[in-house]
Structure 1
């Protein structure tokens, strides 16, 4: 059957989670341990027909090991880490590094300059919680909004915000950046994340070619079945490779993030919606289809599901979603609405460069309110684009980003 084709299911990431201390003499050993583990596991996956696109290393909160007493001290420590990562043998596979979470307003103020200088080796998040009365920590939100605004001004085209996100109700061990963070009490471990839009589109097309009914209820039951079966097949196969490999216990396998994780180099999630009869992403029926897809990602059995394990709608990482902004198929409020039945919130959303700190903060509070009210993980990763207003086209140059129209912030 077509869905068993391993080319349809890429391993987006092997993400290792480890802890560093302020003893820099130990850093080399830890980084080499993680890079060696990822390199060997990547080779094993390739032997079994599964391509690995990237390997990632996530640490405990950077305030536990970087010198945060000054910006210069933090930069010096990150420069050393960058050298260690550059010297790791990873067989040409892309390496990304996350410095964990920023936990204080003081740490957040360091982020714009660190992101500017270290880019993809300085992925970082802020976890915003609620108090006993259920009120969000607006001090952290305000500081984070200020960081977003500053990053947009000091990095080319504001692209540095690709490396910074604000988390609401997110647990550790998310394998995708920059939302991933680690707690040292969990111990050294790893998580597998997949890229499966090609798989989902293929099985839906195959089914629709053979479908003998037009009854909506029957169709949606079948859509769920064929997508769940295909995803379960590949996760089971990949899990078998992991079990055979896990003789090295330096990293414990914590599970899979079953999210589809689209990129600009695979099928768009918009094609999945269209195959399920939604005229375009944003049309009537989008919420229903989003809910069904979320159920598919949650349906996997026989393995531990971690991270988001849900529907990811990363606007500028998905060619179809990016095109939808140009066609005015949806707006920022629509994305928030869809987050009620899926995730991951407002991810890689370009907004006018002059959007105020107050509006950015309000968007974060709206998203955070939904996350805790609905008990689901949501994030906010916004791209204020200098010099652009709502409706203008972006001119991003990053290999990770699609160009699209800037969305208005009402």
Structure 2
């Protein structure tokens, strides 16, 4: 198997961004238009042996189309949308739906019950702004903390927090959930997101097994070059497929906006920990992790064949990556470590399990630390925490979701 093998590079998602308004009569037409587009493009990728794992639909801010008077009115509208989504013949592809961002404290209060009721068809985020003094919006952070706590209490094992994140300095058109949101002024768009840990491990493993006789510095340089070349190869192939698809489509109602080149690990591919080990780091969290993280980020940012959107960086999702999950059990790293690595890479604190009785003030402070880094370093970062009811530091989670790995609960410093 060489790095050109398309089985090494999966497409995590084709994500469409559409605009809905209060006219309920148009929702079916718009949602079907988005799903049909995704399915047609997915078929094109499949013809060229690229596996598409999911199709995703993201809307503008949900207050612009749902009746947000109260939880019940919002539920009625989402029930209608769920019925529309359930009618889609997706050929076995997973369909995920994001209702966009919550903009006010009132809208945030609606999310726990909506996520409990609709789960993966109700992914949502909050974008926390800063003021002229570079101070984060504290009321929105506090409202978000309350939502995280409530979701933890009313969903099984607190798993509902998989569908909610708090964004800092994030722009629209992120293809990965639940940080995705859309700005209605942009009109209908689409983005492709990658999953490439298998590719990175293959490239590094082949290199390390060869007799190259290079110095440590030369080795890192060559590893970076080889990973970039491999990723660029597959991006160029995807670009050709997209160009052909658009040239052959008479009515393309979605504008291509770019790709998110993030590795986006999952339970079903190699762990990012394996990538770090191939780069010479004994374990994720050991000395050298920061250097390797920065190197990997440079690889993801090196793409020029297509526009980069979203994170396009190193993703360290604790409970979605088997190796990172095991690292919590082995006490290889902690929350402070994850924040440190976010300075040179990453998406912040993603799917991090914490004690169920963590004080809200500590969660708010953790969000504020992450947000401060995001704006100070001018990079997108998110916080997606899992306060697990009844569990203390070091306890092992008992998640049942197909998306989540079980790991040890981390302390909030």
Q: CA deviation at 1:398?
A: 0.1
Match in the other structure for 1:18 = 18
Cross-structure match for 2:118: 118
**Residue 341 of structure 2 corresponds to which residue in structure 1?**
338
Matched, 1:177 2:177: yes
Contact 2:235 2:305 in 1 (8 A): no
Q: CA RMSD in A?
A: 0.7
Q: Where do 4+ consecutive residues of structure 1 move more than 2 Å?
A: none
Alignment of 1:95-174 (within 5 A): 95-174=95-174
Q: Structure 1, unaligned stretches of length 5 or more?
A: none
Structure-1 separation of matches of 2:59 and 2:106: 19
Q: Does 1:75 align with 2:53?
A: no
Matches within 5 A, 1:21-100: 21-100=21-100
What CA distance in whole angstroms lies between the structure 2 residues aligned with 1:116 and 1:52?
27
| CA–CA separation in structure 2 for the residues paired with 1:44 and 1:339 | 36
Alpha-carbon distance, 1:214 to partner = 4.6
1:303 aligns with 2:296: no
Shift of 1:212: 1.7
Contact 1:35 1:89 in 2 (8 A): no
Offset at residue 88 of structure 1 (A): 1.3
- More moved, 207-216 vs 327-336: 207-216
Give the secondary structure class of the aligned counterpart of 2:314.
Answer: coil
CA distance in 1, matches of 2:300, 2:124: 26
Q: CA deviation at 1:89?
A: 2.1
Question: Which runs of structure 2 are paired with 1:277-288 in the superposition (5 Å)?
Answer: 277-288=280-291
Matched, 1:318 2:321: yes
Deviations 1:171-213 (A, max 9, x none): 0000000000000111101000011000000000001111422
Shift of 1:160: 0.1
Of the structure 1 ranges 244-253 and 166-175, higher mean CA displacement relative to structure 2 is found in 244-253
1:190 touches 1:252 (CA, 8 Å); kept in 2?
yes
Kept in 1: contact 2:55–2:94 (CA 8 A): yes
Q: 1:400 & 1:385 partners in 2: Cα distance? A: 16
| TM-score of the pair, normalised by structure 2 | 0.99
SS, match of residue 270 in structure 1? helix
CA–CA distance in 1 between the matches of 2:155 and 2:315?
Answer: 26
Give the TM-score normalised by the residue count of structure 1. Answer: 0.99
CA contact (8 A) 1:39 1:89 kept: no
Q: Deviations over 1:52-74 (max 9, x none)?
A: 10000000000000000111100
Of 129-138 and 213-222, more deviation after overlay is shown by 213-222
Q: Cα offset for 1:216?
A: 1.4
Per the alignment, residue 395 of structure 1 pairs with 398
Match of 1:212, SS? Answer: coil
Aligned partner of residue 191 in structure 2, secondary structure? strand
The equivalent residue for 1:205 is 205
Structure 2 alignment gaps of length 5 or more: none
Query: Aligned partners of 1:402, 1:23: CA distance in 2, in Å?
Result: 40
Distance 1:223 1:129 in 2: 38
Distance (whole Å) between structure 1 residues aligned to residue 351 and residue 158 of structure 2: 11
Q: Distance in 1 between matches of 2:151 and 2:170?
A: 23
1:269 match:
272
How far 1:90 sits from its partner (Å)? 1.5
1:4 and 2:22 aligned: no
Do the aligned partners of 1:278 and 1:286 also contact (CA within 8 Å) in 2? yes
- Contact (CA 8 Å) 1:36, 1:89: kept in 2 or not? no
Q: Deviations over 1:67-120 (max 9, x none)?
A: 001111000000000000000121110000000000000000001000000000
Q: Secondary structure at the match of 2:3?
A: helix
Distance 2:114 2:274 in 1: 37
Q: Distance in 2 between matches of 1:388 and 1:360?
A: 16
Q: Separation in 1 of the partners of 2:326 and 2:83?
A: 39
Equivalents in 2 of 1:289, 1:138: separation in Å?
34
